[in-house]
Amino acid sequence: MDIFNVYLPVAGMEFNVLLLLLIGTTVGVCGGFFGIGGAWIVTPALNIFGFPMPYAIGTDLAHMGGKSIVSTIRHGKFGNVDVRLAVSMIIGTTVGMELGASLVMYLERIGLAESVIRKIYVIFLFLIGSYVLYDYLSHVRRQRKAVKEGAPKAEYKHTLAQKLQRINIPPMIHFKTSKIRCSLWLPVLVGLVTGVVASVLGVGGGFIRMPALIYLVGCPTLVAVGTDLFEVMITGAYGAFTYGVKGRVDLLAAMYMLLGAAIGAQLGTVAVKYVRGYSIRLLFAVTIFIACASVLFKQMNLQLLSSILILTAGIVISLVIITLLIRGVMKERRTAGAKSFVSTDREVRK
Amino acid sequence: MDYRIKAGSSVRSHHFLKVVLVLLVISSLLLLPLLAYAAGGGKPATKLYNVADTRNMEPGLSKWIADIYNDNLWTFGLLVVAIMAIMGLALGYLMDRSLVLLGINLGKLDHHE
């Protein structure tokens, strides 16, 4: 395996290229499918294989910028990116991140930062995961009930989002791609809150923004994924620059990771075409629970176990997504084949 | 009746094989990071280098990156963003073309919940 080792000049160490490609592909698939940056996989994965933490964070942010460009362009072509909504949220997110940073400084001054933040993180992930899972299960129950009673399938209503959309504070904006009309202040405020939370918890924010876009703003799942990736692209580029200037990005490692991530991101993004929004939500809930377990292990000083769990889970989830993609493509081909057979048959009969 | 029982047991054994296969794949995947860790992993390095060591490096991409890193970190920061953006765009385009060649329809989507 030594032949695959390369010397990374900035991190000052040798690293296996295949491992970089594997990590990149895994995080690319998950990122493209869920609309998240994937720092929760990359940073611990690089760290357990010997990458010093600051370089792991910087290198992750750098490749995240490039990977999100691939996913955002593809989601954009699918009609899943609401640029207006993303820009409104970025304004709130930026302010929120600054407020969050000040809050962290305050917690550090009173000596509570480390313990409080990790506990809040676990509770937060658990609550989001539970809500998304509850929402999925109630949707399935409603669908089954509707089928049993012979009534048309009940459409899900985002009640909280609808209530929030009705708040009439000018300017009221029509977000065309998301097909929603609401006050500009709604996405700005949601961005602000998610920005504060992301900054306090020290995460990119995709984990929080994606469900917030669905349950608070009222976006369809696929638009939430695409719009969130647009934001990840901007924050990734900004993070790549700031960590680059501080000399904490190993560009060579980021380039190898991006090679894998670009392929993975494209596969993950195209996979959303073959699944329903609620299936994405179910897989997302599972992913959140795994992330939650990994933070719990970290809290119990089981760093290695936490990192291995997260990397393994990332690989398994990516394989599930790729399987869904392959099944979807095969089904599409079978349907197309059957349609062309029927039309040829009709022409022959004529 | 016998035939039915046989068919049922065959379905059950097929299901059992499927479960075993899934468990095997998951356990081997769990072993993958462990093996890689055993091969090259270890305690994270604690020393942070502020200067890239180029003494034993041959001319090429790595040396070019290391030289820029050593010369000016602002230029390095800009280079990181530029390379990631260019690579992202180029790889995205190439992957798009590849998927079209594979016959995957990449048109606009309907949003099904």
Residues 33-92, chain B, touching A (beta carbon < 8 A): 33-34, 36-37, 39-50, 52-54, 57, 61-63, 65-66, 69, 73-74, 76-81, 83-85, 87-89, 91-92
For residue A288, what are its two tokens? Answer: 């959140």
Q: How far is CA A289 from CA A122, A226, A321, in A?
A: 9, 22, 17
Most confident of the ranges B48-52, B69-73, B100-104: B69-73
Percent of chain A at pLDDT above 70? 93
Report d(CA A199, CA B106) in Å as an integer: 36
- Which of A80, A64, A48 minimizes the C-alpha distance to A219? A80
Q: Yes or no: say if A24 and A314 are a contact pair by the CB < 8 Å rule.
A: no
Structure ipTM? 0.79
> Which among A15, A254, A266 has the least Cβ separation from residue B99?
A266
Chain B residue at shortest CA distance from A67: B88
pLDDT of A130-185, one tens digit each? 988 888 888 888 888 888 777 655 555 557 888 888 888 888 888 888 888 888 89
Position A46 scores a pLDDT of 83
- Say whether both B54 and B14 belong to one domain: no
Most confident of the ranges A48-52, A187-191, B44-48: A187-191
On average, the pLDDT of chain A sits at 83
Report d(CA A226, CA B84) in Å as an integer: 20
- Say whether both B42 and B62 belong to one domain: no
Decide: helix, strand or coil at residue A8: strand
- Say whether both B62 and B43 belong to one domain: no
Model confidence at B82: pLDDT above 90:
yes
- Say whether both B107 and B92 belong to one domain: yes
pLDDT of B20-45, one tens digit each? 555 544 554 455 445 444 444 444 44
pLDDT of A56-95, one tens digit each? 888 888 888 888 888 888 888 888 889 899 988 888 888 8
Report d(CA A291, CA A146) in Å as an integer: 34
Report d(CA A196, CA A96) in Å as an integer: 4
| Number of domains into which chain B is organized | 2
Residues of chain A found within 8 Å of residue B32, distances taken between Cβ atoms: 312, 315
pTM over 0.95: no
Residues of chain A found within 8 Å of residue B50, distances taken between Cβ atoms: 247
Domain that holds residue B34: 1-47
* Contact call for A9 and B69, based on CB within 8 A: yes
Beta bridge partners of A265: none
- Say whether both B41 and B57 belong to one domain: no
Residues 7-36, chain B, touching A (beta carbon < 8 A): 25-26, 29-30, 32-34, 36
- Say whether both B101 and B53 belong to one domain: yes
